[in-house]
């Protein structure tokens, strides 16, 4: 990573971020890398989004974009120079005035269980069932489906709030467990509280989960080029496949859609890109889960094109299996 010397004339770069503990932690991590790349100081500018201040369920307030609209407005007004988002919160339609300059290397995309008595999901099921908190219809659909396969009785309970608030439901005995993104727990130093990681074979994560997006005005080509040094090509390819699937399904980020793209190898070299997708009813009675693969070309641009092709292909297959009727963005 190159370092650009600073000059006295260059002011600090303003990084727009949500005010939550998680958002501030992940933004500070990006800020440190941007300081090294640009040679300029970076200051965090906390911005409250509608999704942060509303107490309604995401499915009731529109879901898509509620955590990013205020940040994007601040970018367009010139109040901040760039912004850091959780990629899973971003709508799939990209405003032409803004560019996703960097998608840094993705963290663990899996969901994590934090349960009483150190139990994992199978332990909760064996204990006679459980009340599990989640704000995600996607998680609820897949957890309920998995529980049915185990013959277990679980109840998913809709919750909102920051990481500490959600963990408090288990600590205080209100819920048997909560499910959160593993990446978020690591970023705020709470990984030690994870009692089980949910395999993608059990629960597919949200499209883009574990990845961050660094966005800036398209017109600021110098900054965009500098931020691009943080980009991870494999992450961009994988999340492009996932987000293309989401877009082709015409589903929002609060719809019960799971997706994960990963690279397969022959023991030495990466040979294929695999994309898995799921959509199901929140009670778990019906789940459409399919996958597709394609050979990875040498060119990065060609690999992105492959990712887009796989996303559209898998969406068509899922829609043919009845996925469209399962995506109503309903409350849990």
* Residues identified as active-site: 88-89, 138-139, 160, 166, 253
The two tokens of residue 181 are 């993104």
CA-angle at 231, arms to 5 and 249, nearest 5°: 150
Q: How far apart are CA 285 and CA 306, in angstroms?
A: 33
8 A C-beta contact, residue 318 and residue 249: yes
Smallest CA-to-CA distance from 277 within 227, 326, 219 is with: 326
Contact at 8 Å (CB) between 33 and 231?
A: no
242 contacts 309 by C-beta, under 8 angstroms: no
Nearest-CA neighbor of 56 among 255, 251, 331? 331
CB atoms within 10 A of CB 121: 26
Give the span between the Cα atoms of 256 and 248, in whole angstroms: 14
Tell me which residue of 73, 74, 65 sits closest to 44, measured CA to CA: 74
Query: What is the Cα–Cα distance from 226 to 38, expressed in whole angstroms?
Result: 7
């Amino acid at each position: 990573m190159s370092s650009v010397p600073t000059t006295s004339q260059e002011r600090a770069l303003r990084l727009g971020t949500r005010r939550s503990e998680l958002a501030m932690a992940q933004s500070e991590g990006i800020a440190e890398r941007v300081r090294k790349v640009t040679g300029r100081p970076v200051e965090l500018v906390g911005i409250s989004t509608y999704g942060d201040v509303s107490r309604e369920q995401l499915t009731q307030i529109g879901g898509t974009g509620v955590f990013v609209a205020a940040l994007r407005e601040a970018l367009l007004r010139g109040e901040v120079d760039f912004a850091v988002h959780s990629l899973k919160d971003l709508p799939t339609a990209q405003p032409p005035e803004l560019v996703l300059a960097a998608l840094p290397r993705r963290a663990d995309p899996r969901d994590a269980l934090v349960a009483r008595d150190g139990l994992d999901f199978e332990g909760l099921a064996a204990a006679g069932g459980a009340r599990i908190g989640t704000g995600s219809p996607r998680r609820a659909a897949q957890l309920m489906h998995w529980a049915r396969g185990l013959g277990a009785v679980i109840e998913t309970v809709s919750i909102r709030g920051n990481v500490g608030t959600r963990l408090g439901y288990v600590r205080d005995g209100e819920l048997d467990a909560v499910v959160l993104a593993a990446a978020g727990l690591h970023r705020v130093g709470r990984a030690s509280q994870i009692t089980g990681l949910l395999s993608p074979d059990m629960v597919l994560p949200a499209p883009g989960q574990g990845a961050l997006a660094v966005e800036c005005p398209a017109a600021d080509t110098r900054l965009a080029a500098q931020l691009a040094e943080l980009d991870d090509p494999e992450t961009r390819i994988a999340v492009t496949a996932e987000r293309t699937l989401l877009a082709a399904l015409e589903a929002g980020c609060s719809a019960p859609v799971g997706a994960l793209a990963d690279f397969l190898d022959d023991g030495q070299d990466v040979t294929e890109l695999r994309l898995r997708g799921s959509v199901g009813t929140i009670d778990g009675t019906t789940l459409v889960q399919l996958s597709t693969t394609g050979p990875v070309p040498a060119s990065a641009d060609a690999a992105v094109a492959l990712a887009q092709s796989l996303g559209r292909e898998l969406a068509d297959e899922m829609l043919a299996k009845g996925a469209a009727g399962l995506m109503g963005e309903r409350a849990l």
